[in-house]
Structure 1
């Protein structure tokens, strides 16, 4: 997969977004409070990159678009959301302006999607223990969730073979990552399919118990659609998803419901995707991913042998002859960007490049990592203050 340049996307005056200008690296991290425009920005990036494939997909499912922007946005973002577009709305990708006419006059052809989108609402895709069909969702649910769920459905039906086992699977994930998922999330559990009423539903065999999905921990349930998405993008070729077609993997809020050890393993999974030639864009409310980026910024100045060894120590990976030249080795050649999405005093969303994550910066957005370390810093200051005043 040849990716020769960073995409630069600019969004102005769309819904709550006043102006967002983002250069996407090999790994791009978006942070910001809830309702700060991150998901809207990411969905519109996919719409620009995949607009032809998206419209054809909608029409194949029986939706009426008729090359009208309002129809496209209502079907894509959710019913009624087309009014976010105004005459002042502006989308620019690598210098090319995408006007109303660009969305309404689509070029011919049948291109494949370039962006694999893993949405924040992914648990809804397996709410009753099986991936839902595209048309089982309501008209208010975004396209990215419906498409994601339908992709998982096809994976379960046609992409995993007949073993009846979902985890662990041989050759689908790197052995190091697979064992870490087991240690952090499943604890020896075996994920299987129950065949009932002609449908495959997810269950777990663990400690002589057979547990349906609804009895699992919140983190285990949240992780399952992530795991199936990772299967789509890893391992040997399978008939459902051609992972080589994807330039980008968008991953929203991977930390939901997960222990820090599990989040660390997902960071390793993202590094593996980057090693395989994809670019990864992730939105998060967790400081753990930024702790990795902060360490990366410093360690890239260390000689090669030391900086790779440092990463292995950070992720507690044992060095073996087999993977001495494994997927961690080239991460320091990659470009990592971090952006902070926030609302200005008028309530409109703007974005700031805080990629340095310099804790000594005079810019509060940078030294507090977009607010993710604000509370812990305040705790330290308050405790230090009162211990100095009243402590022995």
Structure 2
């Protein structure tokens, strides 16, 4: 998919998005970013969605199409969200072609591959006491994308990692430079590992020397980052396999959640790795740090800058092992396309602010969708206070 247009969908009166190699969505809470991204996944993965729901004994087909749409919408988007699809005024165009409401419903049973890998904002719910949860461990009214991500992580830990006690740091899982950066920014000499409790059940712990810390005493950022890390492990296989062959898009909601800016920088570097491997990535964010990086890369592209600066942007130099391998990733980043959209909760529309020009006439582009406004106001107030103090 290259372009998606929706009309009268939830909070959104009108939204048109053209996707880049990296597409960033920003805007206030409840402005429609998440439901737009979930609809995007549904359009590309509806048969996989239907297959997973059927295996969980979900039923949505009725004699009346409106009831069918309402039931399916509640199962997919979550409890209370039935009206999203039960709406005759809803308009959808995928790459310029109209999509009917009936086209949103899964067809018959099929084993369709997943083409959009979705890492939701609620990813921490994928674990209970350090144990990954299955699809059926959630309530039927919980959003599909949360349940599906959790189930993917559960299968990953039971298959790919079943014989691997230590999950981080581990050779060949991520480039060595990434591991070093994550050790500094997130793990601080602790290892992520499996431990077995008295009931012979595996759970994830952080371990250092003879100390093992259970999931609930980790920092909030560590709890948020761990399911994201496991999702990245799945997307970034080691060896000769560059990417998951069926997956074209990766959606990551709020990658900065709970993280210090240094850790957010590493996550953004890993996102560039995803793009380098051939995925297209969509992010939602409330972080000016994320837009700082996009703005810097776009400026380097516009100025035809020396590609060494892209590596310097992330503080990586020849002190890091195999740093030139990461240099290939950042160098390639300057040949990619970047789009940024602001979801205006008041107007119910979406604006292209990809230029991120601080001098733009459009206040939303100049203020990066409101993410720089508070800091600017603070600076103005402090300057006024200082001037009055100097005069007094």
Count of matched residue positions in the alignment of Structure 1 and Structure 2: 381
Residue 39 of structure 1: aligned partner: 34
Deviation by residue 1:66-120 (Cα, 9 ceiling, x = unmatched): 3832332121111331212311001111012111221247378532111000000
- The equivalent position to 1:331 in structure 2, one of 330, 333, 337, is 333
Residue 344 of structure 1: aligned partner: 346
User: What is the CA-CA distance between 1:386 and the residue it aligns to?
Assistant: 2.9
Does the CA contact (< 8 Å) of 2:28 and 2:345 recur in 1?
Answer: no
User: What is the CA-CA distance between 1:323 and the residue it aligns to?
Assistant: 2.6
Q: 1:143 to 1:321 in 2, by over 3 A?
A: closer
Residue 7 of structure 1: aligned partner: 2
Q: 1:25 to 1:260 in 2, by over 3 A?
A: same
Does the CA contact (< 8 Å) of 2:48 and 2:110 recur in 1?
Answer: no
- The equivalent position to 2:206 in structure 1, one of 182, 204, 209, is 204
Q: 1:95 to 1:108 in 2, by over 3 A?
A: farther
* Distance in 1 separating the partners of 2:345 and 2:255: 23
Residue 246 of structure 1: aligned partner: 247
* Distance in 2 separating the partners of 1:251 and 1:145: 12
* Distance in 2 separating the partners of 1:297 and 1:238: 31
Q: Does 1:221 align with 2:223?
A: yes
Residue 71 of structure 1: aligned partner: 71
Does the CA contact (< 8 Å) of 1:159 and 1:238 recur in 2?
Answer: no
* Distance in 2 separating the partners of 1:291 and 1:98: 36
Q: Which aligned runs of 4 or more in structure 1 are off by greater than 6 angstroms?
A: none
Q: 1:168 to 1:147 in 2, by over 3 A?
A: same
User: What is the CA-CA distance between 1:316 and the residue it aligns to?
Assistant: 1.0
Residue 48 of structure 1: aligned partner: 43
* Distance in 1 separating the partners of 2:174 and 2:315: 18
Residue 312 of structure 2: aligned partner: 313
Q: Which runs of 5 or more residues in structure 2 are unaligned? A: 63-67
Residue 3 of structure 1: aligned partner: none
Deviation by residue 1:309-342 (Cα, 9 ceiling, x = unmatched): 1122121111468537621111111110000002
Does the CA contact (< 8 Å) of 2:27 and 2:345 recur in 1?
Answer: no
Residue 266 of structure 1: aligned partner: 267
Deviation by residue 1:256-288 (Cα, 9 ceiling, x = unmatched): 111000000000000000000000000000100
User: What is the CA-CA distance between 1:133 and the residue it aligns to?
Assistant: 0.9
Q: 1:367 to 1:322 in 2, by over 3 A?
A: closer
Q: 1:325 to 1:104 in 2, by over 3 A?
A: closer
Deviation by residue 1:229-259 (Cα, 9 ceiling, x = unmatched): 01111122799xx722111100001111110
User: What is the CA-CA distance between 1:11 and the residue it aligns to?
Assistant: 1.1
Does the CA contact (< 8 Å) of 1:193 and 1:202 recur in 2?
Answer: yes
Does the CA contact (< 8 Å) of 2:38 and 2:145 recur in 1?
Answer: yes
Q: 1:52 to 1:177 in 2, by over 3 A?
A: same
Residue 257 of structure 2: aligned partner: 256
